[in-house]
Chains A and B, each alone.
Chain A
Amino acid sequence: MGTQVSIFIQQIINGLKIGSVYALVALGYTMVYGIIRLINFAHGDFIMVGSYVLLYTIPIMVACGLPAWTAIILAVTACAAVGVTVEKVAYKPVREKGTKMSALITAIAMSLFLENLAQTVFGASPKPVGTIFSFPNLELAGIKLNGNTMLTIAIGVVMMIALQLFVKKTKMGKAMRAVSEDGEAAILMGINKNRTISITFAIGSALAAVASLMYCASYPQATPTLGSMLGLKAFIAAVLGGIGIIPGAMLGGIVVGLVESLTKAYIGTLTGGVITSAFSDAIVFGILIVVLIVKPSGILGKNVGEKV
């Protein structure tokens, strides 16, 4: 009985860990969607970029006598640069000339581009990422707590609070909210819309880099398609919580993480083997569909209809 409970708690912790990764990625989706009303399909691939940067810079950092995690500085810089470049080169011209549909197609195209570029440059096979941090395992009331897991959750929570404060308290945060409310009106108020959008992309991509660090700490492998499914699930998290809402992204991320972890562990026994853990992706997509049909604005969102 005791082991049952501790396994359950272990699953919850695993869920929280992957959930906080989803939450960080979802924050990027939510910020970008909030400001330009576009699902940035390439966002998941920024995580992939981050993990390759970590892969190549960790040995350098270690060789210089620095701790491995300092590689995150380079990963953040690289991801922010990639994010802003994608925005400037592809999204901005399409946004100015085309329709919503062409913007969406461009986003899908950029995702394909980044994945295939990585495949061409780094090859399709997974590459091991060096150890990022090794914290001792804690043991609390008979439950083993993986140090890295706890740190991942902690980083996630800190980043979310920091972002929320940034958006609510700083001038740039206010500019972001203004542009997302009404871009044209924001320009008239003297806000530099394009710069605000660029900074939003930079922050969103930097969060993806942090997410890549957290992800690689647990699953130390870089592949060109690493960001694809991860990105989709994070997007589901963003929609679940209410897209464009920062606390919503956190909530959604945690929920998706928990659902995924618990279904993987228990769905087989619960359904008598009819539905196995192989269905876990389908279940996550099922959540998306239910949310989109029942309340497309998400748990924390408000419904808005089109004005006639």
Chain B
Amino acid sequence: MGELILQAKHLGISFGGLKAVDDFNIEIKAGELVGLIGPNGAGKTTVFNLLTGVYAPTEGAFFLCGEKMNGKKTHQVVQSGIARTFQNIRLFKSMTVLENVMVAYGMSIKYKIPGAIFRMGSYFKEEAEYREKALDLLKIFDLDDKADYIADNLPYGQQRKLEIARALATGMKLLLLDEPAAGMNPTETADLLRCINIIRERFGIAILLIEHDMSLVMKICERIVVIDYGVTIAQGLPEEIASNQRVIAAYLGADEEEEDVPC
């Protein structure tokens, strides 16, 4: 621990005058797991979209291991070392489980077009090598025996896990998980927790997690950032957040104001 992985300074974006995210600051060190919470529509996914180059920030900047990421396109951000999963699962549905992971290994695989079309040695060597790596990765998620299944045919919980496996295959330093436990039953959630712990141990990566399942967040996050209406309203240890008045007000609604309550 110690090395600064992600640093966001005064990050913000406006859509036609509306500030979706304003003055967002965060620092994540290697091996840390930070939670990002907030009521629905608070701008959490927008933060992810900013950090992955889907949107270009209108204010501020963010850095990965000191390298400025502003203005990079999604694939460039991913190649630099930030990978993500999606709130609504986005798998390559018609491809097999193994192929899904192999796609993400694409940028590590070095052979070029001649190597591919003339089936040179590098093709066979690398295909076999990364196939092994992919199966290893799938093993963490108990998906290795389903490697040849079509991704779309997997049950929901396994699709979520495959998406995380695919993100890991990009070889990232920072993993952004967008509601990984959404729609999971308690057993699946417990299994997910186990997987997250394994990948933290194995890869030593930093994780930023959006989650509505508060018990999960409180259990695994080392620090929590709370945003509401695009503004950071609290930051701190789980126990501090749990007793923070502004956070409680944002979730339960101050006065007559109504807000979505997480369940």
Touch test A–B (CB under 8 Å): yes
Which residues of A from 283 to 308 have beta carbons under 8 Å from B?
Answer: 308
Closest Cβ of chain A: how far from B136's Cβ, in Å? 30
A308 to B89, alpha carbons, bound, how many Å? Answer: 11
Closest Cβ of chain B: how far from A304's Cβ, in Å? 12
Is B158 an interface residue when CB atoms closer than 8 A count as contact?
no
Which residues of B from 58 to 84 have beta carbons under 8 Å from A?
Answer: none
A308 to B55, alpha carbons, bound, how many Å? Answer: 10
Which residues of B from 27 to 80 have beta carbons under 8 Å from A?
Answer: 45, 49, 54
| Chain A: CB-nearest residue to B90 | A308
A308 to B87, alpha carbons, bound, how many Å? Answer: 9
A308 to B54, alpha carbons, bound, how many Å? Answer: 8
Is B86 an interface residue when CB atoms closer than 8 A count as contact?
yes
Please give, as numbers and ranges, the residues of chain A lying within 8 Å of B49 by CB-CB distance. 308
| Chain A: CB-nearest residue to B54 | A308
Please give, as numbers and ranges, the residues of chain A lying within 8 Å of B45 by CB-CB distance. 308
A308 to B52, alpha carbons, bound, how many Å? Answer: 11
| Chain A: CB-nearest residue to B49 | A308
Closest Cβ of chain A: how far from B98's Cβ, in Å? 25
Please give, as numbers and ranges, the residues of chain A lying within 8 Å of B86 by CB-CB distance. 308
Interface footprint category on B: under 10
Please give, as numbers and ranges, the residues of chain A lying within 8 Å of B54 by CB-CB distance. 308
Return the CB mask of B93-128 against A: 1 if under 8 Å, else 0: 000000000000000000000000000000000000
Closest Cβ of chain B: how far from A123's Cβ, in Å? 45
| Chain A: CB-nearest residue to B74 | A308
Closest Cβ of chain B: how far from A150's Cβ, in Å? 44
A76 to B49, alpha carbons, bound, how many Å? Answer: 51
Please give, as numbers and ranges, the residues of chain B lying within 8 Å of A308 by CB-CB distance. 45, 49, 54, 86
Closest Cβ of chain B: how far from A107's Cβ, in Å? 24
A206 to B86, alpha carbons, bound, how many Å? Answer: 46
A200 to B13, alpha carbons, bound, how many Å? Answer: 40
A82 to B82, alpha carbons, bound, how many Å? Answer: 54
Closest Cβ of chain B: how far from A306's Cβ, in Å? 10
Closest Cβ of chain A: how far from B149's Cβ, in Å? 22
A308 to B86, alpha carbons, bound, how many Å? Answer: 8
| Chain A: CB-nearest residue to B84 | A308
A308 to B53, alpha carbons, bound, how many Å? Answer: 12
Closest Cβ of chain B: how far from A272's Cβ, in Å? 43
A308 to B45, alpha carbons, bound, how many Å? Answer: 9
| Chain B: CB-nearest residue to A306 | B54
Which residues of A from 249 to 308 have beta carbons under 8 Å from B?
Answer: 308
Closest Cβ of chain A: how far from B145's Cβ, in Å? 31
A82 to B86, alpha carbons, bound, how many Å? Answer: 45
A253 to B123, alpha carbons, bound, how many Å? Answer: 54
Closest Cβ of chain A: how far from B162's Cβ, in Å? 19
Closest Cβ of chain B: how far from A302's Cβ, in Å? 11
| Chain A: CB-nearest residue to B86 | A308
A308 to B178, alpha carbons, bound, how many Å? Answer: 11
Closest Cβ of chain B: how far from A303's Cβ, in Å? 11
A190 to B110, alpha carbons, bound, how many Å? Answer: 57
A308 to B85, alpha carbons, bound, how many Å? Answer: 11
Closest Cβ of chain A: how far from B221's Cβ, in Å? 24
Closest Cβ of chain B: how far from A228's Cβ, in Å? 34
Closest Cβ of chain A: how far from B88's Cβ, in Å? 9
| Chain A: CB-nearest residue to B178 | A308
A162 to B54, alpha carbons, bound, how many Å? Answer: 43
A130 to B86, alpha carbons, bound, how many Å? Answer: 63
A308 to B49, alpha carbons, bound, how many Å? Answer: 8
Closest Cβ of chain B: how far from A301's Cβ, in Å? 16
| Chain A: CB-nearest residue to B55 | A308
A18 to B138, alpha carbons, bound, how many Å? Answer: 63
A75 to B8, alpha carbons, bound, how many Å? Answer: 66
Closest Cβ of chain A: how far from B130's Cβ, in Å? 27
A221 to B49, alpha carbons, bound, how many Å? Answer: 57
A263 to B45, alpha carbons, bound, how many Å? Answer: 50
A164 to B229, alpha carbons, bound, how many Å? Answer: 40
Sorted from nearest, which 4 A-B pairs have the closest CB atoms? A308-B54, A308-B49, A308-B86, A308-B45
Binding site for A on B (CB under 8 A): 45, 49, 54, 86
4 A/B residue pairs, CB under 8 Å, sorted by A: A308-B45, A308-B49, A308-B54, A308-B86
